[in-house]
C-alpha cells in the first residue's frame, strides 16, 4: 500500500499496522505532527505578508543568510547549515546564480566541491528582506505567551537537533541523507 498526498502523489510505501484500542489519533488538536504543519502554514503566511512579493522566498532568504554567515561554504556545508536537502539546495543555488545573487566556483582543495559567495545583488536582496523576515519572526512569536517563548524556541531546537541526529545516523548507516533531511522526502 502507498500513501498518497492531496495532489495524488505517491510518497512512499506504508506498512499497514494493526490498530489496537487507544492507538489512534482521535483529536487533531493533540497531534504534534498536525499542529506543527498548521504552525508552519501560519509561519509561511506571516512571512509572505511581511516580506511581500518583492522579497525573497523563505528558502531563498535562508540560503542567502547562510551564505552571508559562512562565506565560501560548499553546497554540502549549506545542506547541513540550512536543513534543505541536497537536490533542492542545488536547484535553489542554481536559480539564485541565474538571478546574479550568488557566485559559485570550484574549490582549490576539491575540484568536485563548489564554494558559494554572495554577489552584490545577493547582499542587497538579503538586506532588503531582513526587516520583513525579522518582523515575521516577531509576529509569529507573538502567538506564543511571553513567558513560554524561551521554552517554545527550546522545544523547536530539540526537534531540529533530532533531525540533525537522524540525518547523521542515516549517513552512518549508508542510507544516504534522503531518509531524514528535513525536506519531507521520507522514503
CA dihedral 86, 89, 90, 91 (to 10 degrees): 130
Per-residue pLDDT tens over the stretch 63-102:
999 999 999 999 889 998 998 988 999 999 999 999 999 9
Of residues 128, 105, 111, the one with CA closest to residue 50: 128
Claim to verify: residue 128 and residue 153 sit in the same structural domain: no
Claim to verify: residue 74 and residue 117 sit in the same structural domain: yes
Of 26-40, 102-116, 165-179, the least confident: 165-179
Has residue 4 got a pLDDT over 70?
A: no
Of residues 27, 25, 35, 23, the one with CA closest to residue 155: 35
Has residue 121 got a pLDDT over 70?
A: yes
In a domain, 47, yes or no: no
Claim to verify: residue 112 and residue 173 sit in the same structural domain: no
Q: Which range of residues forms the domain containing residue 153?
A: 144-187
Claim to verify: residue 184 and residue 136 sit in the same structural domain: no
Identify the residue whose cell numbers are 539564485: 96
Amino acid at each position: 500500500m502507498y500513501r498518497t498526498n492531496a495532489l495524488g502523489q505517491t510518497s512512499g510505501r506504508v506498512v499497514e499496522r494493526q490498530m489496537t484500542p487507544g492507538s489512534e489519533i482521535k483529536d487533531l488538536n493533540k497531534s504534534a505532527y498536525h499542529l506543527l504543519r498548521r504552525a508552519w502554514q501560519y509561519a509561511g503566511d506571516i512571512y509572505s505578508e511581511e516580506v511581500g512579493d518583492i522579497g525573497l522566498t523563505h528558502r531563498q532568504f535562508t540560503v542567502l543568510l547562510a551564505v552571508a554567515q559562512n562565506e565560501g561554504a560548499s553546497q554540502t556545508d549549506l545542506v547541513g547549515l540550512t536543513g534543505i536537502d541536497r537536490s533542492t539546495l542545488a536547484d535553489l543555488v542554481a536559480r539564485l546564480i541565474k538571478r546574479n545573487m550568488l557566485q559559485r566556483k570550484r574549490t582549490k582543495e576539491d575540484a568536485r566541491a563548489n564554494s558559494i559567495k554572495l554577489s552584490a545583488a545577493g547582499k542587497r536582496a538579503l538586506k532588503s528582506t531582513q526587516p520583513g523576515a525579522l518582523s515575521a519572526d516577531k509576529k509569529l512569536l507573538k502567538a506564543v505567551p511571553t513567558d513560554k517563548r524561551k521554552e517554545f524556541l527550546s522545544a523547536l531546537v530539540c526537534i531540529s537537533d533530532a533531525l540533525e541526529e537522524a540525518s547523521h545516523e542515516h549517513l552512518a548507516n549508508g542510507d544516504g541523507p534522503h531518509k531524514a533531511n528535513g525536506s519531507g522526502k521520507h522514503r
